[in-house]
């Protein structure tokens, strides 16, 4: 209130003066020019992320336009990839990618949740930091190293297990059935093996987010559970897991997005069959990233445009999955604290 004179503000009102009610002074923080520039710069940094995402989508769409115009909806309903006869689509590679990603998640989610719980709840304090570092290291191991290890070390050793699964459970659980005999080669390069390798890359992603969320569970509620006589597992079941549910769902979806986009493992397998293969133990099953990695060296404009279209579908799909995951994590009770 700039118009109040000092006497009015300090002493009791003089007898002749009008009664001025006590109104709290309004605090207006005026930003200096430098600050305004600084905030604009930061805002630019935030906008740049939008811009990059928009550019990726825009350029892919621009380059894929020809394909969508020529192929139309058939692009989503055709299974084969025969460019010469203009008969191509992603009806087989897209669901194949989903099958691989789901296989990876089936293995990764229990492992990652257990690992996260162990680090945040069970591990002695001395072990916590080394374990967190180990998970970080797992995330930093290049995917090509996972792929080499998986294809040359894991695959020959896991085939026996694949056969065992198909022999004993194939009758009960149709996805485990392998049709066409008992040859070793039928079990090679299957979505199951690819999913196993990819699950190792997904585990650190899910683990680190879940660990963060679990460790934020309020100590008051933890102590309350203990005071009511819960054992540690009882406390985890009743406090930590319900608290971290949103974060867990988000983390799993992020892991799904990562598994959908994994390229190198699928590309090293190279089993270019364009049929939807839901028998996870059976050989074959190319995903969209694998398709792109397989054909990138073909430089005809039609092919490039078709690959861009496939890439665009993958991009939009993973972006939706991941963005929903991000929103779930932020909206959840655990995320509300980190975002003020």
Computed from CA positions of residues 136, 137, 138, 139, in that sequence, does the dihedral angle turn out positive or negative? positive
Which residues in 147-186 contact other proteins (CB under 8 A)? 148-149, 152-153
304 interacts with other proteins by CB under 8 A: yes
Q: How far is the CB of 301 from other proteins (least distance, A)?
A: 9
- Does 138 bind other proteins (CB under 8 A)? Our answer is yes
Q: Which of 23/140 has CB closer to other proteins?
A: 140
Q: Give, for 283, the enclosing helix (H) or strand (E).
A: none
How many contiguous H segments (helices) and E segments (strands) does the chain have? 16, 2
CA atoms within 13 A on the CB side of 197: 31
Write the CA distances from 92 to 126, 162, 232, 249, 291, integer angstroms.
49, 23, 47, 27, 11
Q: Candidates 70, 131, 273, 275: give the one binding other proteins (CB under 8 A).
A: 131
- Which of the stretches 5-13, 19-27, 77-85, 300-308 binds other proteins when contact is defined by CB under 8 A? 300-308
Please check whether residue 185 is in contact with residue 283, taking contact to mean a CB–CB distance below 8 angstroms: yes
- The CA-based dihedral angle spanning residues 74, 308, 53, 77, taken in that order and rounded to the nearest 10 degrees: 20
Q: Is 272 in the site for other proteins (CB under 8 A)?
A: no
Determine, following the binding rule CB under 8 A, whether residue 68 of this chain makes contact with other proteins: no
- Which listed residue (12, 24, 46, 181) binds other proteins by CB under 8 A? 46
- In the complex with other proteins, the residue whose CB is nearer, 7 or 337, is 337
Of 142, 156, 174, 272, the one binding other proteins (CB under 8 A) is 142
Q: How far is the CB of 19 from other proteins (least distance, A)?
A: 35
271 makes contact with other proteins (CB under 8 A): no
Residues 79-108 contacting other proteins, CB under 8 A: none
Contact between 202 and 105 (Cβ < 8 Å): yes
Stretch that binds other proteins, among 7-15, 17-25, 66-74, 324-332 (CB under 8 A): 324-332
Which of 89, 191, 244, 261 forms a contact with other proteins (CB under 8 A)? 261
**Residue 253: HSE in the Cβ half-sphere, 13 Å Cα cutoff:** 19
Two structure tokens written together for 297: 């060296």
Note whether 300 binds other proteins by CB under 8 A: no
Contact flag: residue 244 with other proteins (CB under 8 A)? no
Contacts of residue 218, defined as CB under 8 A and 6 or more positions apart, other chains included, come to 243
Sign, Cα dihedral of 205, 207, 213, 215: negative
Q: Is 241 in the site for other proteins (CB under 8 A)?
A: no
Q: By CB under 8 A, tell whether 219 contacts other proteins.
A: no
319 binds other proteins (CB under 8 A): yes
Burial 226-249 (b: 16+ CB within 10 A, else e): eeeebeeeebbebbbeebbebbbe
């Amino acid at each position: 209130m700039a118009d109040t004179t000092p006497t009015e503000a300090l002493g009791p009102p003089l007898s002749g003066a009008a009664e001025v009610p006590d109104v709290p002074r309004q605090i207006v923080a005026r930003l200096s020019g430098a600050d305004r520039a600084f905030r604009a710069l930061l805002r630019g940094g935030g906008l740049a992320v939008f811009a990059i995402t928009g550019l990726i989508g825009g350029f892919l769409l621009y380059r894929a336009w020809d394909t969508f115009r020529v192929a139309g909806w058939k692009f989503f309903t055709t299974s084969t990839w025969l460019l010469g006869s203009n008969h191509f689509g992603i009806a087989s590679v897209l669901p194949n990618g989903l099958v691989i990603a789901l296989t990876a998640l089936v293995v990764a989610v229990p492992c990652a949740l257990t690992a996260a719980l162990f680090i945040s709840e069970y591990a002695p304090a001395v072990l916590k930091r080394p374990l967190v570092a180990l998970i970080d290291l797992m995330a930093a191991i290049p995917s090509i190293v996972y792929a080499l290890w998986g294809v040359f070390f894991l695959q020959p050793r896991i085939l026996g297990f694949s056969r065992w699964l198909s022999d004993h459970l194939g009758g009960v659980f149709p996805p485990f059935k392998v049709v066409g005999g008992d040859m070793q080669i039928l079990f090679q390069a299957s979505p199951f093996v690819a999913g196993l390798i990819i699950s190792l890359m997904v585990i650190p992603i899910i683990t680190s987010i879940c660990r963060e969320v679990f460790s934020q569970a309020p100590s008051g509620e933890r102590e309350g559970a203990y005071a009511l006589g819960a054992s540690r597992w009882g406390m985890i079941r009743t406090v930590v897991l319900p608290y971290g549910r949103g974060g867990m769902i988000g983390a799993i979806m992020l892991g799904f997005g990562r598994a959908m986009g994994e390229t190198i493992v699928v590309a090293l397998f190279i089993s270019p069959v364009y049929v939807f293969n839901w028998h996870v133990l059976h050989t074959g099953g190319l995903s969209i990233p694998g398709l792109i990695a397989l054909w990138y060296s073909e430089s005809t404009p039609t092919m490039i445009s078709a690959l861009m279209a496939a890439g665009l579908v993958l991009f939009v799909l993973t972006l939706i999955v991941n963005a929903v995951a991000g929103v779930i994590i932020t909206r959840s009770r655990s995320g509300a604290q980190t975002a003020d």
